[in-house]
Chain A
Amino acid sequence: MNKDKIIIDPNLSSFFSWNDIVRYKSLLNNLAKRDFLVRYKQAFAGIMWALIKPLMSILVFGYISTKISNSENTATNFVYVASAMLLWQLFSNVFNDVSNSIISNSNLFSKVYFPKIIIPLSTILVCLVDFFISLIILVVLFVISGQSLHWQIILAPLFILLTVINGLGLGLYFATINVKFRDVKFIVPVILQFGMYVTPVIFNTTYYLDRMPSWLHWLFCLNPMVGAIDGFKYALFGGDSIYNIYYFSLSVCVSFLFLFIGVKYFYKFERNFVDYI
Chain B
Amino acid sequence: MSNNTIIKVEGLSKHYLLNKNVAQKSDTLYGSFINGLKNIKSIGKKNDTKDFWALQDVSFEIQQGDRVGIIGRNGAGKSTLLKILSRITPPTKGRIEYSGRMASLLEVGTGFHGDLSGRENIYLNGSILGMTKQEIDRKFDEIVAFAEVENFLDTPVKRYSSGMYVRLAFAVAANLEPDILIVDEVLAVGDAAFQKKCLGKMNDVSSKEGRTILFVSHNMGAVQNLCNKGLYLTKGRLNSTGDIKDIINNYLQSGDTNKSDYKLQIPEQVTYGYAYEVFIEDENGDSLAEIPVGSYWKIRVKFAITKPTPHFIVAVGIVSSFEMPIRTTWSKPSDINPGNYEAIFYNNDVFLTTGIYKIVIGLSSNVRTFHYSDNEVSISISDAGDILSDKRIINTQSGLILNPMKVTINKSN
CA distance A6 to B86 in the complex (A): 11
A113–B111 touching, CB < 8 Å = no
Which residues of the other chain, A, contact B129 by a CB distance below 8 angstroms? 112
Size bin of chain B's contact surface: 35 or more
B91 adjacent to A34 (CB under 8 Å)? no
A154 within 8 A of B: no
Render B99-114 as a binary contact track against A, CB cut-off 8 A, 1 for contact.
1111010110011010
Tell whether B95 is near chain A: CB-to-CB under 8 Å: yes
Q: Is the CB of A34 within 8 A of B90?
A: no
Q: How far is the CA of A33 from the CA of B111 in the complex (A)?
A: 13
In the complex, which of the residues B88, B100, B101, B120 contacts A112, with contact meaning CB atoms closer than 8 Å? B88
B326 within 8 A of A: no
Does B132 interact with chain A (Cβ within 8 Å)?
yes
Find out whether the CB atom of A38 lies under 8 angstroms from the CB atom of B116: yes
Determine the chain B residues whose CB is within 8 A of the CB of A25 once the complex forms: 132
A3, B100: Cβ atoms closer than 8 Å:
yes
Q: Encode contact with B along A20-51: 1 for CB under 8 Å, 0 otherwise.
A: 00001111011101100110011000000000
CA distance A108 to B128 in the complex (A): 8
Please tell me which stretch of A198-206, A220-228, A248-256, A267-275 contacts chain B, meaning at least 4 of its Cβ atoms lie within 8 angstroms of it: A267-275
CA distance A144 to B376 in the complex (A): 68
In the complex, A5→B179 CA distance in Å? Answer: 12
A109 at the binding interface (Cβ < 8 Å): yes
Residues of A within 8 A of B120 (CB): 33-34, 37
Query: Which of A8-16, A60-68, A92-100 lines the interface with chain B?
Result: A8-16
Bound complex: CA A1 to CA B101 (Å): 12
A5 vs B96: C-alpha distance in the bound complex, in angstroms? 10
Contacts of B85 in A (CB 8 A): 8
Assess the B89–A274 pair: CB atoms within 8 A. yes
A211 within 8 A of partner (CB): no
List of A residues within 8 angstroms of B3 by Cβ: 1
Which residues between 78 and 102 of chain B lie within 8 Å of chain A, taking CB atoms? Answer: 83-102
Cβ–Cβ contact B94 & A107, under 8 A: no
Q: Kindly report which residue of chain B lies nearest to residue A38, judged by CB atoms.
A: B115
Q: Within 8 Å of chain B (Cβ to Cβ): is A7? A: yes
User: Across the interface, do A37 and B91 meet the contact criterion of CB distance under 8 Å?
Assistant: no
What is the bound-complex CA distance between A269 and B120, given in angstroms?
A: 32
Contact A27 B127, beta carbon cutoff 8 Å: yes
B99, A4: Cβ atoms under 8 Å?
Answer: yes
Nearest-CB residue, chain A, relative to B156: A41
Is A110 on the interface with B (CB-CB < 8 A)?
Answer: yes
Which residues between 1 and 55 of chain B lie within 8 Å of chain A, taking CB atoms?
A: 3, 6, 16
Q: Are B98 and A5 in contact (CB under 8 A)?
A: yes
**A38-B116, A42-B115 are contacts. A112–B128 as well, Cβ < 8 Å?**
yes
> Are A6 and B99 also in contact (CB < 8 A) when A108-B110, A112-B110, A272-B89 are?
yes
- A37: chain B residues within 8 A (beta carbon): 115-116, 120
Which chain B residues border A272 with CB–CB below 8 Å?
A: 89-90
Residues of B within 8 A of A9 (CB): 91, 94-96
Q: Mark A72-116, 1 if CB is under 8 A from B, else 0.
A: 000000000000000000000000000000000001111111100
- Chain A residues contacting B385 (CB-CB under 8 Å) are none
For B127, give its contact among A1, A26, A107, A110 (CB under 8 Å).
A26
Q: How far is the CB of A31 from chain B (nearest CB, A)?
A: 7
Closest-by-CB residue of A relative to B123 is: A30
- On whether the beta carbons of B128 and A275 are closer than 8 Å, the reply is no
B291 within 8 A of A: no
The verdict on A113 contacting B95 (CB below 8 Å), with A30-B124, A31-B124 known, is: no
- Taking a contact as CB atoms under 8 Å apart, the answer to whether A12 and B110 are in contact is no
The interface residues of chain B lying within 8 Å CB-to-CB of A10 are: 90-94
B131 within 8 A of A: yes
* B→A interface (CB under 8 Å): 3, 6, 16, 64, 83-102, 104, 106-107, 110-111, 113, 115-116, 120, 123-124, 127-133, 136, 179
Q: Which residues of A contact B (CB under 8 A)?
A: 1-10, 12, 24-27, 29-31, 33-34, 37-38, 41-42, 107-114, 271-272, 274-275
**6 A/B residue pairs, CB under 8 Å, sorted by A:** A1-B6, A26-B123, A33-B124, A111-B88, A111-B107, A112-B130
